[in-house]
Protein backbone atom coordinates (compact mmCIF):
# COMPACT_ATOMS: atom_id res chain seq x y z
CA UNK A 1 0.00 0.00 0.00
CA UNK A 2 1.30 3.48 -0.83
CA UNK A 3 1.19 5.71 2.23
CA UNK A 4 0.14 9.30 1.53
CA UNK A 5 2.23 11.80 3.49
CA UNK A 6 0.88 15.28 4.28
CA UNK A 7 2.54 18.26 5.90
CA UNK A 8 0.20 19.79 8.51
CA UNK A 9 2.69 22.13 10.17
CA UNK A 10 0.95 25.31 8.97
CA UNK A 11 -2.42 25.22 10.65
CA UNK A 12 -5.33 26.83 8.80
CA UNK A 13 -3.71 26.97 5.33
CA UNK A 14 -5.42 25.47 2.28
CA UNK A 15 -2.85 22.67 2.22
CA UNK A 16 -3.67 21.95 5.88
CA UNK A 17 -7.41 21.82 5.34
CA UNK A 18 -7.02 19.50 2.34
CA UNK A 19 -4.84 17.14 4.42
CA UNK A 20 -7.33 17.07 7.30
CA UNK A 21 -10.23 16.40 4.92
CA UNK A 22 -8.33 13.59 3.19
CA UNK A 23 -7.33 12.05 6.55
CA UNK A 24 -10.96 12.19 7.73
CA UNK A 25 -12.14 10.63 4.47
CA UNK A 26 -9.68 7.74 4.85
CA UNK A 27 -10.73 7.19 8.48
CA UNK A 28 -14.40 7.07 7.54
CA UNK A 29 -13.54 4.58 4.78
CA UNK A 30 -11.97 2.26 7.37
CA UNK A 31 -8.33 3.09 6.53
CA UNK A 32 -5.57 4.02 8.99
CA UNK A 33 -4.16 7.54 9.43
CA UNK A 34 -1.24 8.49 11.70
CA UNK A 35 -1.51 11.92 13.30
CA UNK A 36 0.29 14.05 15.90
CA UNK A 37 -1.01 14.59 19.43
CA UNK A 38 0.57 16.55 22.29
CA UNK A 39 2.04 13.28 23.68
CA UNK A 40 3.23 11.03 20.82
CA UNK A 41 1.94 10.23 17.30
CA UNK A 42 -1.21 8.10 17.17
CA UNK A 43 -2.16 5.46 14.60
CA UNK A 44 -5.84 6.24 14.06
CA UNK A 45 -8.68 4.08 12.81
CA UNK A 46 -12.49 4.28 13.04
CA UNK A 47 -13.14 3.38 16.69
CA UNK A 48 -16.65 2.08 15.95
CA UNK A 49 -15.49 -0.24 13.16
CA UNK A 50 -14.08 -3.58 14.32
CA UNK A 51 -12.40 -4.18 10.95
CA UNK A 52 -10.55 -0.86 11.10
CA UNK A 53 -9.40 -1.74 14.63
CA UNK A 54 -8.14 -5.11 13.45
CA UNK A 55 -6.11 -3.26 10.80
CA UNK A 56 -4.46 -1.25 13.60
CA UNK A 57 -3.36 -4.42 15.39
CA UNK A 58 -2.08 -5.85 12.12
CA UNK A 59 -0.13 -2.75 11.03
CA UNK A 60 1.58 -2.50 14.43
CA UNK A 61 2.01 -6.21 15.07
CA UNK A 62 0.18 -5.55 18.35
CA UNK A 63 -1.19 -8.36 20.55
CA UNK A 64 -4.97 -8.33 20.14
CA UNK A 65 -5.72 -8.35 23.90
CA UNK A 66 -3.92 -5.01 24.38
CA UNK A 67 -6.87 -2.58 24.22
CA UNK A 68 -6.95 0.70 22.28
CA UNK A 69 -7.64 4.24 23.47
CA UNK A 70 -10.56 6.07 21.84
CA UNK A 71 -9.83 9.70 20.98
CA UNK A 72 -12.58 12.31 20.90
CA UNK A 73 -12.63 16.06 20.18
CA UNK A 74 -15.20 17.16 22.77
CA UNK A 75 -17.37 16.05 25.71
CA UNK A 76 -20.31 15.39 23.43
CA UNK A 77 -18.20 12.80 21.59
CA UNK A 78 -16.93 11.40 24.87
CA UNK A 79 -20.37 10.83 26.37
CA UNK A 80 -21.40 8.69 23.37
CA UNK A 81 -18.74 6.04 24.03
CA UNK A 82 -19.13 5.59 27.81
CA UNK A 83 -22.18 4.29 29.66
CA UNK A 84 -21.58 6.31 32.83
CA UNK A 85 -19.38 9.20 33.98
CA UNK A 86 -18.32 8.90 37.63
CA UNK A 87 -17.96 11.96 39.87
CA UNK A 88 -14.23 11.43 40.05
CA UNK A 89 -14.03 11.35 36.26
CA UNK A 90 -15.98 14.65 36.11
CA UNK A 91 -13.32 16.24 38.31
CA UNK A 92 -10.58 15.01 35.99
CA UNK A 93 -12.43 16.26 32.91
CA UNK A 94 -12.79 19.71 34.46
CA UNK A 95 -9.16 19.93 35.54
CA UNK A 96 -7.20 18.24 32.76
CA UNK A 97 -9.23 17.71 29.59
CA UNK A 98 -8.37 18.29 26.84
CA UNK A 99 -4.84 17.22 27.76
CA UNK A 100 -2.36 14.36 28.12
CA UNK A 101 -4.62 12.08 30.18
CA UNK A 102 -6.69 8.97 29.39
CA UNK A 103 -9.63 7.93 31.57
CA UNK A 104 -11.00 4.39 31.92
CA UNK A 105 -14.80 4.28 32.24
CA UNK A 106 -17.60 1.73 31.68
CA UNK A 107 -18.07 1.35 27.94
CA UNK A 108 -21.13 2.16 25.85
CA UNK A 109 -22.68 -0.60 23.72
CA UNK A 110 -21.51 0.99 20.47
CA UNK A 111 -17.84 0.33 21.35
CA UNK A 112 -16.69 -2.90 19.71
CA UNK A 113 -14.77 -5.68 21.51
CA UNK A 114 -11.92 -5.08 19.05
CA UNK A 115 -11.30 -1.76 20.88
CA UNK A 116 -11.55 -2.95 24.46
CA UNK A 117 -10.04 -6.40 24.11
CA UNK A 118 -13.35 -7.71 25.43
CA UNK A 119 -13.29 -5.62 28.65
CA UNK A 120 -16.46 -3.89 29.84
CA UNK A 121 -14.50 -0.66 30.16
CA UNK A 122 -13.16 1.76 27.56
CA UNK A 123 -10.16 4.11 27.59
CA UNK A 124 -11.02 7.66 26.44
CA UNK A 125 -8.81 10.62 25.68
CA UNK A 126 -9.33 14.15 24.38
CA UNK A 127 -6.05 15.36 22.92
CA UNK A 128 -4.96 18.98 23.20
CA UNK A 129 -3.47 19.24 19.74
CA UNK A 130 -5.07 21.19 16.91
CA UNK A 131 -4.33 18.64 14.18
CA UNK A 132 -5.69 15.76 16.25
CA UNK A 133 -8.84 17.68 17.18
CA UNK A 134 -9.47 18.91 13.63
CA UNK A 135 -9.01 15.39 12.26
CA UNK A 136 -11.38 13.78 14.79
CA UNK A 137 -14.01 16.50 14.27
CA UNK A 138 -13.78 16.24 10.49
CA UNK A 139 -14.09 12.44 10.64
CA UNK A 140 -17.08 12.72 12.99
CA UNK A 141 -16.24 9.46 14.77
CA UNK A 142 -14.25 8.42 17.85
CA UNK A 143 -10.75 7.56 16.65
CA UNK A 144 -9.05 4.47 18.09
CA UNK A 145 -5.33 5.27 18.27
CA UNK A 146 -2.43 3.49 19.91
CA UNK A 147 1.05 4.94 19.41
CA UNK A 148 2.07 4.93 15.73
CA UNK A 149 5.03 2.54 16.02
CA UNK A 150 5.72 -1.13 15.46
CA UNK A 151 4.63 -2.86 18.68
CA UNK A 152 7.33 -2.99 21.36
CA UNK A 153 9.43 -0.15 19.89
CA UNK A 154 9.79 3.38 21.30
CA UNK A 155 6.79 5.57 20.41
CA UNK A 156 7.25 8.07 17.55
CA UNK A 157 7.52 11.75 18.44
CA UNK A 158 7.85 13.07 14.88
CA UNK A 159 6.52 12.31 11.39
CA UNK A 160 9.75 10.79 10.01
CA UNK A 161 9.84 8.16 12.75
CA UNK A 162 6.23 7.17 12.02
CA UNK A 163 7.16 6.86 8.37
CA UNK A 164 10.19 4.66 9.15
CA UNK A 165 7.99 2.23 11.13
CA UNK A 166 4.73 2.29 9.19
CA UNK A 167 5.18 3.58 5.61
CA UNK A 168 3.65 1.05 3.22
CA UNK A 169 1.37 -0.35 5.94
CA UNK A 170 -1.13 2.49 6.45
CA UNK A 171 -3.23 4.92 4.41
CA UNK A 172 -1.68 8.25 5.41
CA UNK A 173 0.60 10.13 7.76
CA UNK A 174 -0.17 13.70 8.86
CA UNK A 175 3.23 15.17 9.69
CA UNK A 176 2.84 17.98 12.21
CA UNK A 177 6.46 18.06 13.41
CA UNK A 178 7.69 17.21 16.89
CA UNK A 179 5.19 16.46 19.68
CA UNK A 180 5.21 18.51 22.91
CA UNK A 181 5.51 15.96 25.71
CA UNK A 182 7.23 13.05 24.01
CA UNK A 183 5.74 10.36 26.26
CA UNK A 184 2.30 8.78 26.27
CA UNK A 185 -0.71 10.03 28.23
CA UNK A 186 -1.28 9.30 31.90
CA UNK A 187 -3.90 6.51 32.16
CA UNK A 188 -6.24 6.59 35.15
CA UNK A 189 -8.87 4.03 36.04
CA UNK A 190 -12.03 5.81 37.22
CA UNK A 191 -14.25 2.73 37.58
CA UNK A 192 -13.99 2.43 41.39
CA UNK A 193 -17.35 2.08 43.16
CA UNK A 194 -19.49 5.23 43.18
CA UNK A 195 -18.99 7.48 46.19
CA UNK A 196 -15.31 6.64 46.65
CA UNK A 197 -13.07 9.47 45.53
CA UNK A 198 -10.33 7.20 44.18
CA UNK A 199 -8.40 6.72 40.96
CA UNK A 200 -5.67 4.26 40.07
CA UNK A 201 -2.83 5.36 37.81
CA UNK A 202 -2.30 2.55 35.28
CA UNK A 203 0.40 4.42 33.39
CA UNK A 204 2.20 7.55 34.64
CA UNK A 205 2.47 10.55 32.29
CA UNK A 206 2.55 14.33 32.08
CA UNK A 207 -0.48 14.65 34.37
CA UNK A 208 1.37 13.50 37.47
CA UNK A 209 0.23 11.69 40.61
CA UNK A 210 0.91 14.93 42.50
CA UNK A 211 -1.42 16.89 40.16
CA UNK A 212 -4.18 14.29 40.51
CA UNK A 213 -3.76 14.23 44.29
CA UNK A 214 -4.64 17.92 44.40
CA UNK A 215 -8.17 17.25 43.16
CA UNK A 216 -8.88 13.62 44.15
CA UNK A 217 -8.93 12.03 47.61
CA UNK A 218 -7.00 8.83 46.99
CA UNK A 219 -4.57 8.30 44.11
CA UNK A 220 -3.24 4.75 43.82
CA UNK A 221 -0.61 3.34 41.47
CA UNK A 222 -1.02 0.04 39.67
CA UNK A 223 2.54 -0.40 38.42
CA UNK A 224 4.08 -3.58 39.85
CA UNK A 225 7.08 -2.79 42.07
CA UNK A 226 8.90 -6.13 42.17
CA UNK A 227 9.01 -9.51 40.44
CA UNK A 228 6.42 -11.09 42.73
CA UNK A 229 3.99 -8.22 42.14
CA UNK A 230 4.73 -8.30 38.44
CA UNK A 231 3.94 -12.00 38.22
CA UNK A 232 0.78 -11.44 40.26
CA UNK A 233 -0.27 -8.61 37.94
CA UNK A 234 0.26 -10.81 34.89
CA UNK A 235 -2.14 -13.37 36.31
CA UNK A 236 -4.63 -10.71 37.43
CA UNK A 237 -6.02 -10.18 33.94
CA UNK A 238 -7.96 -8.42 32.63
CA UNK A 239 -7.50 -5.18 34.64
CA UNK A 240 -5.14 -3.62 32.08
CA UNK A 241 -3.92 -6.16 29.56
CA UNK A 242 -1.48 -3.69 28.04
CA UNK A 243 0.58 -3.77 31.20
CA UNK A 244 1.84 -7.24 30.47
CA UNK A 245 3.81 -6.44 27.31
CA UNK A 246 7.35 -5.09 27.03
CA UNK A 247 7.59 -1.69 25.45
CA UNK A 248 9.72 1.13 24.17
CA UNK A 249 12.80 -1.08 23.63
CA UNK A 250 15.83 0.02 21.59
CA UNK A 251 17.43 -2.76 19.48
CA UNK A 252 20.55 -3.15 21.66
CA UNK A 253 19.84 -4.36 25.22
CA UNK A 254 19.86 -1.44 27.63
CA UNK A 255 20.78 -1.43 31.33
CA UNK A 256 19.94 1.36 33.77
CA UNK A 257 22.58 2.57 36.22
CA UNK A 258 21.84 4.38 39.45
CA UNK A 259 24.98 6.57 39.70
CA UNK A 260 28.06 7.82 37.86
CA UNK A 261 30.43 5.47 39.63
CA UNK A 262 28.44 2.43 38.50
CA UNK A 263 28.28 3.83 34.97
CA UNK A 264 32.09 4.24 34.79
CA UNK A 265 32.77 0.82 36.33
CA UNK A 266 30.30 -1.02 34.11
CA UNK A 267 31.61 0.77 31.01
CA UNK A 268 35.21 -0.33 31.83
CA UNK A 269 34.09 -3.90 32.41
CA UNK A 270 32.22 -4.10 29.12
CA UNK A 271 35.06 -2.49 27.15
CA UNK A 272 37.51 -5.09 28.51
CA UNK A 273 35.06 -7.79 27.44
CA UNK A 274 35.29 -6.35 23.91
CA UNK A 275 31.81 -4.85 23.83
CA UNK A 276 30.93 -1.72 21.89
CA UNK A 277 28.87 0.26 24.42
CA UNK A 278 26.52 3.16 23.66
CA UNK A 279 25.92 5.68 26.45
CA UNK A 280 22.90 7.84 27.19
CA UNK A 281 24.12 10.66 29.43
CA UNK A 282 22.88 13.77 31.18
CA UNK A 283 24.19 16.89 29.40
CA UNK A 284 26.30 17.69 32.49
CA UNK A 285 28.15 14.34 32.26
CA UNK A 286 28.38 14.16 28.47
CA UNK A 287 31.89 15.67 28.03
CA UNK A 288 33.32 13.32 30.68
CA UNK A 289 32.94 10.11 28.71
CA UNK A 290 35.25 9.28 25.81
CA UNK A 291 33.34 6.66 23.85
CA UNK A 292 32.49 6.25 20.15
CA UNK A 293 28.75 6.29 20.64
CA UNK A 294 27.00 8.53 23.11
CA UNK A 295 24.04 10.86 23.19
CA UNK A 296 22.78 13.52 25.56
CA UNK A 297 19.43 13.07 27.31
CA UNK A 298 19.38 16.78 28.20
CA UNK A 299 20.11 18.49 31.49
CA UNK A 300 19.34 16.45 34.62
CA UNK A 301 17.51 19.48 35.96
CA UNK A 302 15.18 19.67 32.93
CA UNK A 303 12.95 16.60 33.05
CA UNK A 304 10.61 18.08 30.46
CA UNK A 305 13.47 18.18 27.92
CA UNK A 306 14.52 14.62 28.85
CA UNK A 307 10.96 13.33 28.34
CA UNK A 308 10.53 15.13 25.02
CA UNK A 309 13.71 13.66 23.52
CA UNK A 310 13.73 10.25 25.20
CA UNK A 311 12.31 8.02 22.45
CA UNK A 312 14.35 9.67 19.70
CA UNK A 313 17.46 9.18 21.81
CA UNK A 314 16.65 5.50 22.32
CA UNK A 315 16.10 5.05 18.59
CA UNK A 316 19.32 6.94 17.76
CA UNK A 317 21.42 3.90 18.68
CA UNK A 318 19.42 1.55 16.43
CA UNK A 319 21.47 2.70 13.42
CA UNK A 320 24.83 2.32 15.22
CA UNK A 321 27.03 -0.78 15.72
CA UNK A 322 26.57 -0.99 19.51
CA UNK A 323 26.28 -4.25 21.47
CA UNK A 324 24.64 -2.74 24.52
CA UNK A 325 23.50 0.54 26.08
CA UNK A 326 23.90 2.12 29.51
CA UNK A 327 21.55 4.83 30.73
CA UNK A 328 21.24 6.70 34.03
CA UNK A 329 17.95 6.69 35.97
CA UNK A 330 16.24 10.05 36.52
CA UNK A 331 14.66 11.25 39.79
CA UNK A 332 11.38 9.37 40.28
CA UNK A 333 9.05 12.30 40.98
CA UNK A 334 6.57 14.41 39.00
CA UNK A 335 7.11 13.89 35.27
CA UNK A 336 10.25 11.94 36.25
CA UNK A 337 8.00 9.06 37.40
CA UNK A 338 6.71 8.73 33.82
CA UNK A 339 10.24 8.80 32.40
CA UNK A 340 11.47 6.18 34.90
CA UNK A 341 8.48 3.97 34.02
CA UNK A 342 9.42 4.06 30.30
CA UNK A 343 13.14 3.59 31.02
CA UNK A 344 12.47 0.51 33.16
CA UNK A 345 10.38 -1.07 30.43
CA UNK A 346 12.88 -0.13 27.73
CA UNK A 347 15.59 -1.79 29.85
CA UNK A 348 13.45 -4.88 30.44
CA UNK A 349 13.98 -4.30 34.19
CA UNK A 350 17.83 -4.46 34.00
CA UNK A 351 19.20 -2.13 36.70
CA UNK A 352 22.66 -1.82 38.28
**Site residues (CB under 6 A) for ligand AMP?**
66-67, 69, 104, 116, 119, 121-123, 146-147, 184, 187, 202, 240-243
Please report which residue ranges of the chain form alpha helices under DSSP H: 14-28, 50-60, 75-81, 87-96, 113-116, 130-139, 159-166, 209-213, 227-235, 260-272, 303-316, 335-346
**Is the CB of 146 or the CB of 209 nearer to ligand AMP?**
146
Identify which of 168, 133, 159 has the alpha carbon closest to the alpha carbon of residue 24: 133
Q: Which span sits near Mg ion by CB under 5 A: 65-73, 147-155, 157-165, 250-258?
A: 147-155
Taking CB atoms, the residue at the shortest distance from ligand AMP is 242
**Cα distance between residue 314 and residue 66, in whole Å:** 23
∠ CA 252-328-246, rounded to 5° = 45
User: Cβ(207)–Cβ(96) under 8 Å?
Assistant: yes
Residue 107: CB minimum distance to ligand AMP, A = 7
Cβ count within 10 A of residue 324? 18
**Is the CB of 165 or the CB of 184 nearer to ligand AMP?**
184
Q: Does 147 bind Mg ion (CB under 5 A)?
A: yes
| 131 interacts with, out of Mg ion, ligand AMP, none, CB within 5 to 8 A per kind | none
Span between the terminal Cα atoms of the chain, in Å: 45
Residue 350: CB minimum distance to ligand AMP, A = 21
Residue 294: CB minimum distance to ligand AMP, A = 28
Identify which of 57, 86, 60, 66 has the alpha carbon closest to the alpha carbon of residue 243: 66
**Is the CB of 152 or the CB of 334 nearer to ligand AMP?**
152
Residue 239: CB minimum distance to ligand AMP, A = 7
Q: Does 161 bind Mg ion (CB under 5 A)?
A: no
Residue 155: CB minimum distance to ligand AMP, A = 7
**Is the CB of 93 or the CB of 184 nearer to Mg ion?**
184
| 219 interacts with, out of ligand AMP, Mg ion, none, CB within 5 to 8 A per kind | none
Residue 66: CB minimum distance to ligand AMP, A = 6
**Cα distance between residue 29 and residue 140, in whole Å:** 12
**Is the CB of 8 or the CB of 111 nearer to ligand AMP?**
111
DSSP E strands: which ranges in 92-232? 101-106, 121-125, 143-144, 172-175, 186-189, 198-203, 218-221
Residue 121: CB minimum distance to ligand AMP, A = 4
**Is the CB of 89 or the CB of 243 nearer to ligand AMP?**
243
Q: Which residues bind Mg ion (CB under 5 A)?
A: 147
Amino acid sequence: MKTEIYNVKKIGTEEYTRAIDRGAELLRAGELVAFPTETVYGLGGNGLDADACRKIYEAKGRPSDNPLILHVADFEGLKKIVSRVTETAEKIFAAFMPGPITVILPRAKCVPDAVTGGLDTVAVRMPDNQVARDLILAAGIPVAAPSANISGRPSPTNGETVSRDLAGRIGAILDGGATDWGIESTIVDCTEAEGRDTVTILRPGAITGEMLQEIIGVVKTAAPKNTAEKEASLKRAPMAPGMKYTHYAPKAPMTLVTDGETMARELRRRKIAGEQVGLLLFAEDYPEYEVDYKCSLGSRSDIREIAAGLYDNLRYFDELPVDSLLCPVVPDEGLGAAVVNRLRKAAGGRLL
